[in-house]
Amino acid sequence: MIIELGHYALILALVVAAVQSVFPVWGAVNSDHRLMGMAPGLAVLMFLLTCVAFAALTWAYLNSDFSLLNTYQNSHSDKPLVYKISGVWGNHEGSILLWVLILVLFGALVAVFSRNIPQRLRAATLGAQGWVSFAFLLFVIVASNPFTRISPAPLQGSGLNPMLQDVGLAIHPPILYIGYVGFSIVFAFAAAALILGKLDAAWARWVRPWILVSWIFLTLGIAMGSYWAYYELGWGGWWFWDPVENASFMPWLTGTALLHSAIVMERRDALKVWTVFLALLTFSLSLLGTFLVRSGVLTSVHAFAVDPARGLFILAILLIFVGGSLTLFAWRAPLLRQGGLFAPISREGSLVLNNLFLTTACAAVFVGTLYPLVLEAFSGDKISVGAPFFNLTFGPIMVPVLILMPFGQLLAWKRGDAWGVAQRLTSAFVIAMLATVGLIWFMGVSTTSIMTALGFGLAFWAIFGSLWEIIERSQLFKIGFGRSMARIKGFAPTVWSTVLGHAGLGITVLGIVTTMAFESERVEVMRPGDTLEQNGYNVTYEKSWTQNGPNYQEMVSQYTLRKGGNVVGIMEPSKRAYNASGMPMSETSIATFGFSQVYFATGDSDENGGIVTRIYFKPLITLIWIGTLLMSLGGCIALFDRRLRVGAPVSARKRKGVAGSVATATPTPAE
């Protein structure tokens, strides 16, 4: 009964989506207030209906209702509660339903929180969001229905892939989807602007919070996925340039570009057409990612089922939306009033460069990801494009981004002084040079050491160049500590968000360079009592035993990790065999020292009681993820920028007047 209710609610949501796709847009074009007024209610209704559907599926998982094909194939009554819940999206049908749930959630959020934007824009935006919702709801109901019953109902399910039985499954997909799918609302805003033929700085102000939210979650989702793969797969790798990773990384690159170009649009009323184009492009890449990951064209843990019909359906959605939005763009963009040009040496000039490099980098990743698929389709040759290709292409394109980033941050709007900024950045440059020279001195002169040292210098330059804004604005070494602190307290949120975002990127780069240059690994067969030395650590294999988990049996191997004679860690990697499927699964054991990690994984045991032990030493590896957390934090602070919540653009003169009474400033309705 509950299942049928969920199924019914989903079909109703499709009908609501159809209504929302047509009438509000019609009303917006013809200035019919009654039709436009329908949009927010429909968006909220569609969200509630999808919630009912999702709750029904979750109910089936919680109660192990194996009369559903979906639960039978992917669940098991012995599964711990957390995996019963997260197992809802640990399969194709459920994950697409989660995708749709987040899609309609964003529609509802715009309906509820964007009261201050003009009615026409809001109605057209929700209408465009309705198109996407309709397409995906149709896909769920027709091709990927989670509510299919089986009869007679089996007594037990087949269980969830053990690799997915991890807390990562509870966190990674929802966070990543919020980022991925959040760009749909940005896409809808862009489509609405094109339909209405009206695009101004205020539009950028309304869209920017949505770009920020999506970007923050996409950043966190990618970082989370990277850490999950790192500890789960047991290879010690944190990024594989796997097509599935690239699928999420491409919208991140264009989304980052969009985040910056929207600032230019908001502040200077320039780059308008380009910003709209980026908005369409970013969501198109999200759709492309969904296609790559879910259609089965790639084999990976993410591709749950290989069903050609589903692949074709998503491909059709992809082509309709990419083709449709590009056509709309080609048709309507010439009608938009072009923004002004500006001096090349200026904040906006540097942001143009940022956009140029980020989109070029995205194009390189795009080619590397799709080339094997295209080549195989046309010539039958099977190739794999891996890390060497991306290091060769993506790496060099990002170097100028890192070099120019601190300059852009300090350049003034309108007309900047490049030489002046260079002088102000002297200290950061000196620090970067010291890091470079110091490292070459430490490592000895060789090609590797010079490359590593340059990477180090670049990371230090990015970090200290970004932090310099804080030191300079607070006049830290000039006016005394107390007064500087008072100044720091008075900083606008944008200062912090820029500094954190940019320094975070530098810290991630520092983690990447250090890990790549100095990581080491050791593979040995160890017997109880065996000891080995590596990187100043002493590892002893103590013993192993078997124990029972909730739905698996595991063999745990215990190692003692010593440094300088002191025990610094008891490591217990294990090998599990899951009861439901009998599938084996290795669990790694990781010890963190400062920012560095030591990583243990075990393989098979041999006849003589020896066990293959793989130990990785990963210096400063956690900086990779800490950097991304800082970037996201920067994004969060930007969300609290007062200007984003004020409805209408406020002129500089007026803003000064308002600044005195921040506390009493209320959002002014636009138009």
Partner 1 sequence: MTRKQKRLGLIGLAGLVLGSAVGLVLYGLSSSVTYFQSPSDIAEQQVEVGQRIRLGGLVEDDSLDKSRGSVILFRVTDQAEAIPVSYKGILPDLFREGQGIIAEGHMNEKGVFIADTVLAKHDESYMPKEVYETLKEDGHWMEEDQAASAEQSIKVN
Under rule CB under 8 A, residue 2 binds partner 1: no
CA of residue 608 relative to chain centroid, distance: 46
Cis amide prior to 388 (ω within 30 degrees): no
Under rule CB under 8 A, residue 610 binds partner 1: yes
CB under 8 A: which stretch of 50-58, 510-518, 536-544, 601-609 binds partner 1?
601-609
Under rule CB under 8 A, residue 324 binds partner 1: no
Answer for which of 207, 410, 601, 631 binds partner 1 (CB under 8 A) is: 601
Under rule CB under 8 A, residue 30 binds partner 1: no
Answer for which of 38, 207, 364, 428 binds partner 1 (CB under 8 A) is: 364
Long-range contact pairs involving 531-536 (C-beta distance under 8 Å, separation at least 24): 534/615, 534/617, 535/617, 536/563, 536/564
List binders of partner 1 among 453-492 (CB under 8 A): none
Answer for which of 69, 109, 328, 532 binds partner 1 (CB under 8 A) is: 69
Pick from 136, 153, 146: which is nearest to 283 by CA?
136
- Give the residue carrying structure tokens 């037990």: 156
Q: Are 557 and 573 in contact (CB under 8 A)?
A: yes
Under rule CB under 8 A, residue 393 binds partner 1: yes
Q: CA of 486: how far to CAs of 90, 480, 482, 490, 626, in Å?
A: 50, 10, 6, 7, 28
Q: SS3 letters for 155-191?
A: CCCCCCCHHHCCHHHHHHHHHHHHHHHHHHHHHHHHH
CB under 8 A: which stretch of 125-133, 348-356, 431-439, 653-661 binds partner 1?
348-356
Under rule CB under 8 A, residue 150 binds partner 1: yes
Answer for which of 58, 144, 275, 360 binds partner 1 (CB under 8 A) is: 360
Under rule CB under 8 A, residue 575 binds partner 1: yes
Answer for which of 151, 447, 548, 651 binds partner 1 (CB under 8 A) is: 151
Q: CA of 164: how far to CAs of 33, 93, 290, 389, 603, in Å?
A: 49, 15, 19, 29, 20
Under rule CB under 8 A, residue 269 binds partner 1: no
Under rule CB under 8 A, residue 48 binds partner 1: no
Under rule CB under 8 A, residue 409 binds partner 1: no
Q: How many residues does the chain have?
A: 671
Handedness of CA 634, 636, 638, 640 (dihedral sign): negative
Q: CA of 125: how far to CAs of 26, 573, 650, 659, in Å?
A: 12, 51, 23, 32
Under rule CB under 8 A, residue 209 binds partner 1: no
Under rule CB under 8 A, residue 301 binds partner 1: yes
CB under 8 A: which stretch of 3-11, 183-191, 222-230, 341-349 binds partner 1?
341-349
Under rule CB under 8 A, residue 614 binds partner 1: yes
User: What b/e sequence results for 247-256 when a residue is b if at least 16 CB atoms lie within 10 Å of its CB, and e otherwise?
Assistant: bbbbbbbbbb
Tokens (6 digits) for 320: 């309709």
Binding footprint of partner 1, residue count (CB under 8 A): 59
Under rule CB under 8 A, residue 525 binds partner 1: yes
Answer for which of 449, 534, 558, 586 binds partner 1 (CB under 8 A) is: 586
Cα separation, 328 vs 333, in Å, equals 8
Under rule CB under 8 A, residue 549 binds partner 1: no
Under rule CB under 8 A, residue 367 binds partner 1: yes
CB under 8 A: which stretch of 40-48, 197-205, 598-606, 631-639 binds partner 1?
598-606
DSSP codes, 216-250: HHHHHHHHHHHHHHHHHHSS--S----HHHHHHHH
Under rule CB under 8 A, residue 356 binds partner 1: yes
Closer to partner 1 by CB, 361 or 507: give it: 361
Under rule CB under 8 A, residue 309 binds partner 1: no
Cα separation, 259 vs 406, in Å, equals 17
Query: Measured from the CB of residue 420, what is the shortest distance to partner 1 in angstroms?
Result: 20
Under rule CB under 8 A, residue 378 binds partner 1: no
Contacts of 339 (CB under 8 A, 6+ apart): 265, 268, 269, 270, 271, 272, 273
Under rule CB under 8 A, residue 163 binds partner 1: yes
CB under 8 A: which stretch of 199-207, 297-305, 314-322, 622-630 binds partner 1?
297-305
CB under 8 A: which stretch of 338-346, 452-460, 501-509, 563-571 binds partner 1?
338-346
Under rule CB under 8 A, residue 265 binds partner 1: no
Cα separation, 343 vs 352, in Å, equals 11
Tokens (6 digits) for 475: 């006049």
H-helix or E-strand containing 54?
helix 33-62
Residues in contact with partner 1 by the rule CB under 8 A: 69, 148-152, 154, 161-163, 234-235, 299-301, 341, 343-344, 352-353, 356-357, 360-361, 363-364, 367-368, 371-372, 381-386, 388-389, 392-393, 396-397, 523-525, 575, 581, 583-586, 601-604, 606, 610, 612, 614
